[in-house]
A and B are shown apart, each in its own frame.
Chain A
Amino acid sequence: MTLWGWILLACVIAFTTKLLGWLVPAERLQRPWLLQAAGTLTVGLLASLTILNAVADGQLLRPDARLVALAAAALALVLRAPFIVVVVAGAAAAALARLAGMP
């Protein structure tokens, strides 16, 4: 399947998922354990995506300027910076680290 195919399929799944919640009788889905399970899944996926984007290059582990970006973003978050500042801090840190000669 082409990239366009996957994009459209992923969009259909995303919308159907949202719509499902509006159509299914509440008592079917409104269970505390289900809310907690979804919360845990979200944390696990975001943690995986964070570290993957920080160190992976295909099937290689390649530590580089992205780790500096990770540290800068963590610092910004500890200082309670808003999301957009966190993102800019990550970009600036990686760009500066590369300027300083890091891969």
Chain B
Amino acid sequence: MPLSPVLRTSPAVRAGLTLAAATGVYGVSFGALATAAGLSVLQTQALSLLMFTGGSQFAFIGVLAGGGGGAAATAAASLLGVRNALYAVQLNALLAPRGWARRLASAQVTIDESTAIATAQGDREEQRRGFWAAGLGIFVLWNLFTLVGSLLGSAIGDPRVWGLDGAAVAAFLGLLWPRLKGRDPVAVAVVCAVVTVVAVPWLPPGIPILAAAAVAVLLHLLLRTRDARGGRR
């Protein structure tokens, strides 16, 4: 895509690239945490290049860091990625890409940020520009900074001395925080956290997360039933 004057002046492109600069940088924390969790630099980079969805990547290494196995890590990452399918449905309705190459590329950069930028624009051309600016911008920066982080991470020795395990906790809370709008999400978060803590001593590492996911689905059904009965929203 040539950088024509329209791209330089488009508000959607500017918003997308700004968001890319802001979020791509935290690939550093992912890279450092992934190597602290025991992944090689190459394995860490594979996750950023191929998985490319921050929440799932953090979940994958979070399970490994907690002593869980590859199967539990894969399950947690995959469940957390489900929302991307729903983003894609919205985006497909807005952008309707033609041809396989464009569809595959669109799929790979379907993440929280590119969806947020695209759906915030008024007209279709701006939606398309915003989606690609945020999606491709973050893809490039996220991968670049993942590499910086994993090289740094594997060079500094014991990650606990540098508080990197604390950084992981902060990263997850930072991903959760913007979703805690209203009473229902807060209630779900608290219940799932309690379920996790109670389950840890009794279940193999990695499984408590899946137990919490099951409880979240149950809670969702309960809340829906309440809403259907005309209760508070």
Q: Within the complex, which residue of B22, B70, B172 is in contact with A1, where a contact is CB–CB below 8 Å?
A: B70
The chain B residues found within 8 Å of chain A, CB to CB, are: 22-23, 25-26, 28-29, 39, 43, 46-47, 50-53, 55-56, 58-60, 62, 65-67, 69-71, 73-74, 76-93, 97, 103-104, 106-108, 110, 160-177, 179-180, 184-185, 188-193, 195-197, 200-205, 208-209, 212-213, 215-217, 219-220, 223-224
Q: Within the complex, which residue of A6, A36, A50, A93 is in contact with B74, where a contact is CB–CB below 8 Å?
A: A6
Given A19-B103, A49-B172, A52-B208, 16 other A-B contacts at CB below 8 A? Answer: A14-B56, A21-B89, A22-B97, A29-B85, A36-B220, A43-B179, A45-B209, A47-B192, A49-B59, A59-B67, A68-B166, A69-B167, A73-B169, A73-B174, A77-B174, A97-B163
Contact B163 A95 (CB under 8 A): yes
Contact B107 A41 (CB under 8 A): no
Q: Within the complex, which residue of A19, A52, A91 is in contact with B163, where a contact is CB–CB below 8 Å?
A: A91
Q: What DSSP secondary structure best describes chain B's contact surface?
A: helix
Measured between beta carbons, the chain B residues less than 8 angstroms from A93 are 163, 166
Name which residue of chain A comes closest to B189, CB basis.
A47
A27 to chain B minimum Cβ distance, whole angstroms, is 9
Measured between beta carbons, the chain B residues less than 8 angstroms from A57 are 66-67
Contact B62 A49 (CB under 8 A): yes
Contact B86 A34 (CB under 8 A): yes
Rounded to whole angstroms, the CA-CA distance of A20 and B85 in the bound complex is 6
Measured between beta carbons, the chain A residues less than 8 angstroms from B166 are 65-66, 68-70, 72, 90-95, 97
Contact B80 A87 (CB under 8 A): no
The chain A residues found within 8 Å of chain B, CB to CB, are: 1-11, 13-15, 17-24, 26, 29-30, 33-61, 65-66, 68-70, 72-74, 76-77, 82-84, 86-98
Measured between beta carbons, the chain B residues less than 8 angstroms from A90 are 163, 166-171, 173
A6 with B71, Cβ < 8 A, contacts A18-B81, A26-B89, A47-B176 known: yes
